[in-house]
A and B are shown apart, each in its own frame.
Chain A
């Protein structure tokens, strides 16, 4: 069973704080993704990584950065949190090659509130 875990389920931070969201997967997947989910907007891709130390911007990378130092871990960093970054953050992983490559497996999400 694929397991994707996220460091916090709920987080409350103040405007201007630096925020770290951690994600770990245990299935040796090459690809990892960070999304945010907002009502009526579906899932929007922030960043993804297809290998250690490799990253690519998604649709809404502004205000975020990522780090992937180990294959199983993908971190999302909010350099200076703002209230418009209040959202549900979802981490996902998928295989790099072979059958089922496109299926992404998600963590439980982190509900971040910035006040």
Chain B
């Protein structure tokens, strides 16, 4: 039972345009969401997060939007750059969990020149 779903295995975007990565979740107990970026042969690195009390969080070119009623969050990257080509993971934490994160399967983002 996948509690965090990233339904697009891959996404291709032109350099300079907006990249939108999506994530859906099923567990109403999730209260904190994170996005990670992973290059091949490296560990994931933290990108941006959002608490369930907010609906938007912005950090430079990266913005995460949370729609609690739809149980959906998205990561926007504007403008997309070649170095953004990576696998992006969405992760969520339930308020009653013991520091565990539940992870999506990842979306591979390819930025075309």
Contact = CB atoms under 8 A, between A and B. Distances in A.
A4 B43 contact: yes
Given A56-B98, A107-B43, A102 B103 contact: no
Contacts of A90: 43-44
A109 B49 contact: no
Interface in B66-99: 89, 91, 93, 98-99
A108 interface: yes
Contacts of A43: 44, 89, 91, 103
A58 B99 contact: no
A94 B105 contact: no
A111 B42 CA distance: 10
Nearest to A9: B41
A43 B43 CA distance: 11
**Band of interface residues on A:** 20 to 34
A108 B91 CA distance: 19
A56 to B, nearest CB: 7
Contacts of A64: none
A108 B34 contact: no
B36 to A, nearest CB: 8
Interface string B3-38: 010100100000000000000000000001010000
A102 B34 contact: yes
Interface in A22-40: 31, 40
Contact of B43 (A31, A44, A106): A106
A109 B99 contact: no
B99 A40 contact: no
A83 interface: no
Interface string A41-79: 111110010100000101000000000000000000000
Given A102-B32, A102-B49, A108 B41 contact: yes
Interface of B: 4, 6, 9, 32, 34, 41-46, 49, 89, 91, 93, 98-101, 103-106
Top 4 nearest A-B pairs (CB, nearest first) are: A106-B43, A42-B105, A43-B103, A42-B103
